[in-house]
Amino acid sequence: MVSSTSSIDFAVIGHQDNWEGIERFVNGLRTPEQGKLSVEKIKSIFPFIPPRVLFNVQVKSITGSQINGIYIDTFFDPDKLDIQYSKANSSKVIQAASCAEKEGARITTLGGFTSIVLEGNFNYFARKATKFTTGNTLTAAYIVKGVETAAGQSHINLANSKLLIVGATGDIGMACVTYFKNKVKQLLLCARSLNRLENLAKFLLEENVNIKFSVSVDELLQDADVIICVASTTGLNFRDCKKDALICDAGYPKNLDKRIHDNPEVQLFHGGMGQVSMGFCFNPDYSNSIYCYPVPGIAHGCILEAMVLAFENKIESYSTGRGNITTDKIEEIYACGLKHGITLAPFHNAYGLWPD
């Protein structure tokens, strides 16, 4: 564990999404003399650790500039990411936020569930010395640009396609709806709350957008040519999707059951991911046991948003609340990233990189 000494341009507040990764990380820290801990033992300790800085991060831009950051883990229990655990989880996010402030971070991003547990309520952070952002605008950018690029590679004409968005009423889901509403043949919208879906549908129908919505994904699945999954859920199984559907799973943890990969014709990539072309390094170097991806420099859009804002010296709460992400902001933050060599990640999934 480290504490920062030099000036801190950005902080990332994150969490682990599975016990397999946590076990690899914890046992990677132990010496042969200490021996390995069982998963059961780790489960009995890990969630009780208070949020703290795990490592420093150095990031380089293609412009030649360099920024310093810290990664703060909340030590959420990955089995307790549901809404019913929000109170305990939000108190950990607040502790982690104090940690970022104490370390003097200029801008701090809330990765994955750390923004969801606050349910879009950013009031607590309004008067803090460090600026907070959810990172959802750059995440949305990498999702929409990823879908457009992957569709192009797969000869899918989006203008003639039906696009299903699972989690359509969420912050990232609504950003995708706004981006694609006039670019596809029909939007298929899914979430659990009918009331929120109806409110969204009303807006879209007023603008003559061709939509269909349902709280049941099975009702929409067979029509979908392209699917974006951005729901705060896990274990969805799309057995009945079109055989050649293009799927972007951007959930953290992943929304879809791994078995979907068993259908060889379905093309699935993990979306919302970017890549730092000049790379980043951790100190201490935990890169073999934490945050491992098929090629170096890959990171979540939410994390990269803090880096891009720090490089641009744009120290502001860029993404806040729910439903505020516009297409102009998506284009702006994406373009800012490109200036620093931060771009869409190569397509990959749980089995590695997509074949060329």
Ligand X SMILES: NC(=O)c1ccc[n+]([C@@H]2O[C@H](COP(=O)([O-])OP(=O)(O)OC[C@H]3O[C@@H](n4cnc5c(N)ncnc54)[C@H](OP(=O)(O)O)[C@@H]3O)[C@@H](O)[C@H]2O)c1
Q: Which is nearer to ligand X, 27 or 214 (CB)?
A: 214
CA distance 265 to 243: 6
Q: Which is nearer to ligand X, 4 or 138 (CB)?
A: 138
Binding of ligand X by 237 (CB under 6 A): no
Binding of ligand X by 192 (CB under 6 A): yes
Binding of ligand X by 139 (CB under 6 A): yes
**Binding region for ligand X (CB under 6 A) out of 100-108, 124-132, 300-308, 313-321:** 300-308
Q: Which is nearer to ligand X, 135 or 297 (CB)?
A: 135
Binding of ligand X by 250 (CB under 6 A): yes
> Which element (helix H / strand E) includes 36?
none
Nearest to 18 by CA among 344, 313, 290: 290
**Least Å distance between CB 177 and ligand X?**
10
Q: Quick check: 208 and 202 in contact, CB under 8 A? A: no
Catalogue the long-range contacts made by 117-123 (C-beta closer than 8 Å, 24 or more residues apart).
117/85, 117/86, 117/89, 117/90, 117/93, 118/90, 118/93, 119/86, 119/322, 120/171, 120/320, 120/321, 120/322, 120/323, 121/321, 122/317, 122/320, 122/321
**Least Å distance between CB 157 and ligand X?**
26
Among 51, 78, 301, 337, binds ligand X (CB under 6 A): 301
**Binding region for ligand X (CB under 6 A) out of 30-38, 91-99, 231-239, 312-320:** 231-239
> What type of residue sits at position 211?
I
Binding of ligand X by 172 (CB under 6 A): yes
* Contacts (CB under 6 A) with ligand X, residues 69-88: none
In 3-state terms the chain splits into helix, strand, coil percentages (rounded to 5) of: 35, 20, 45
Burial of 311 (0-12, 13-18, 19+ CB in 10 A): buried
Among 167, 226, 269, 320, binds ligand X (CB under 6 A): 167
Judged by CB under 6 A, the number of residues near ligand X is: 33
Helix 301-311 with 327-339: angle, nearest 10 deg? 70
Among 51, 69, 173, 337, binds ligand X (CB under 6 A): 173
Binding of ligand X by 249 (CB under 6 A): no
**Binding region for ligand X (CB under 6 A) out of 42-50, 184-192, 289-297, 330-338:** 184-192
Binding of ligand X by 272 (CB under 6 A): yes
Q: Which is nearer to ligand X, 113 or 132 (CB)?
A: 113
CA distance 88 to 92: 7
CA distance 194 to 101: 39
Q: Quick check: 177 and 189 in contact, CB under 8 A? A: yes
CA distance 229 to 272: 10
**Least Å distance between CB 169 and ligand X?**
4
Binding of ligand X by 60 (CB under 6 A): no
Q: Which is nearer to ligand X, 4 or 136 (CB)?
A: 136
Query: What does the binding site for ligand X look like in residue numbers (CB under 6 A)?
Result: 112-113, 115-116, 135-136, 139, 166-173, 190-193, 196, 230-233, 250-252, 272-273, 300-302, 322
